[in-house]
Structures are given as C-alpha cells and as structure tokens.
C-alpha cells in the first residue's frame, strides 16, 4: 500500500528514529512502513494519523 | 539508510534480547561440559535417578532461554513480531521437513543415522533455520 508517511515525517522535520519514538515502535518498523514493505495494523495507522493530525485516508492509499 | 545494512541491523529490542541470552548460552556450555565430566566420573557409583537428574541439568538453561525469548516476543512491536513469525515458521517447517526426510531415508536403510546426535542437533538446526527465516522476513518486509 502506498502511503505519505515519509513526506509527513519530513515535513515535521523528524528522523525515522524520532517518529519511531513517538509511535513506540522500532526505527526499522517506521522504515518498513515508509518503503511500503509493511502495512501497519489499524491501531498503528490511527496512531500515525493522530500524530500527523491528518485523516487516515490522506496517509494511506489502497488504490492499485 | 542503507537497505542492506538495515536488513541485518538489530532493533533495540533484539539487541537487549541477544545481550540477555549470553548468560544462558554460557551457562549451557559450561553446564554441559560439567555434566559430561560428572556422569563419566560417577556413572557406576550414583543411583540411576541421580544420574538422570544430573544429565538433564542443561535443559534448565534451555527453559531459561525460552523464558527470555517469550519476554522478548512480548516486547516486540507488530513488524518485529511479523519477522519473528517468519523465523519461527521457517525454523519449524524446514527442520521438521528435514528430519522427516532423513527419518524416511533411515527407515528404508538408505542412510545410517546416529539417533543421539540427530536428537541433540534439533535445537541448533532450528536456531539456524530461524535466523534464515528472519533474514527472509526482513528481506521481504524490511
């Protein structure tokens, strides 16, 4: 699934490690999400949306 | 980030787990050597039950190791858990299949197996296959 996590993170001026700390996950998890190799669970996706104060559908795009 | 380095770099949780695993690993090695020496020395003198109890002492370190692994697994985040599941699945399926295949070959007397060593090698074989599974998981999802 495509997502805008990297763009949002960079807009905040955060490193992957900083975002990982906010989400209480490992930096590798953030990297896997950003590269689209791992789709986060619904709770983690909501956590991301809340953190970036953005609707969840603007963060994740499930169109092929 | 270098994607290859990221594939082999430990997460902080993994690092903690491997550091904690050093103690049971070392104790296991020392205990196994001690048990071999003790059993060889006292085989004729000690009662059977005592010999069994001493022979099984290294199993306690494996239980200790499993306890650490379960603690580690509980602390894993969702992506880390996915990678662990890859490791466990590949470990169990690969070694299970290998043992079954060798079992068939031994059954039909096409190979001669030392059952004792084959049994003792099961955990190390699972560990190696588990690491292989984690590498595959990280390569696909890392």
Would you call A37 and B142 a contact, using CB atoms and an 8 Å cutoff? yes
Structure tokens at B83: 């990678």
Would you call B142 and A32 a contact, using CB atoms and an 8 Å cutoff? yes
pLDDT recorded at residue B8:
67
Mean pLDDT of A23-30: 96
Q: What is the largest CA-CA distance in chain A?
A: 31
**Higher-confidence residue: A39 or B6?**
A39
pLDDT recorded at residue A1:
85
In degrees and rounded to multiples of 5, residue B44 shows phi and psi of: -80, -25
Cβ-proximal residues to B112 (8 Å cutoff; 6+ apart), any chain: B106
ipTM: 0.91
Mean pLDDT of A42-53: 96
Q: Give me the residue label for tokens 């190799």.
A: A37
Task: Enumerate the residues of chain A whose CB falls inside 8 A of the CB of residue B1.
Answer: 16, 31
List of E strands, B5-128? none
B142 interfacial to chain A (CB closer than 8 Å): yes
- Among chain A residues, the shortest Cα distance to B11 is held by A26
Per-residue pLDDT of chain B (142 residues; tens, 9 = 90+): 565 666 668 899 999 999 999 999 999 999 999 999 999 999 989 999 999 999 999 999 999 999 999 999 999 999 999 999 999 999 999 999 999 999 999 999 999 999 999 999 999 999 999 999 999 999 999 8
């Amino acid at each position: 699934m495509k997502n805008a996590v990297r763009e949002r993170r960079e807009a905040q001026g955060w490193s992957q490690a900083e975002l990982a700390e906010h989400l209480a996950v490992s930096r590798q998890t953030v990297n896997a999400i950003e590269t689209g190799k791992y789709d986060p669970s619904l709770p983690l996706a909501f956590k991301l949306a809340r953190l970036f104060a953005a609707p969840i559908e603007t963060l994740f795009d499930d169109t092929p | 980030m270098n994607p290859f380095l990221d594939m082999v770099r430990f997460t902080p949780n993994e690092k903690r787990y491997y550091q904690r695993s050093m103690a049971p690993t070392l104790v296991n090695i020392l205990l196994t050597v001690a048990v071999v020496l003790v059993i060889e020395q006292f085989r004729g003198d000690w009662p059977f039950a005592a010999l069994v109890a001493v022979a099984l002492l290294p199993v306690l370190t494996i239980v200790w190791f499993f306890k650490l692994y379960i603690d580690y697994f509980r602390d894993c985040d969702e992506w880390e858990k996915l990678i662990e599941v890859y490791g466990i699945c590949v470990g169990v399926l690969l070694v299970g299949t290998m043992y079954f295949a060798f079992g068939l070959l031994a059954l039909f007397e096409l190979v001669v197996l030392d059952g004792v060593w084959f049994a003792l090698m099961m955990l190390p074989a699972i560990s190696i296959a588990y690491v292989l599974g984690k590498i595959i998981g990280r390569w696909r999802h890392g």
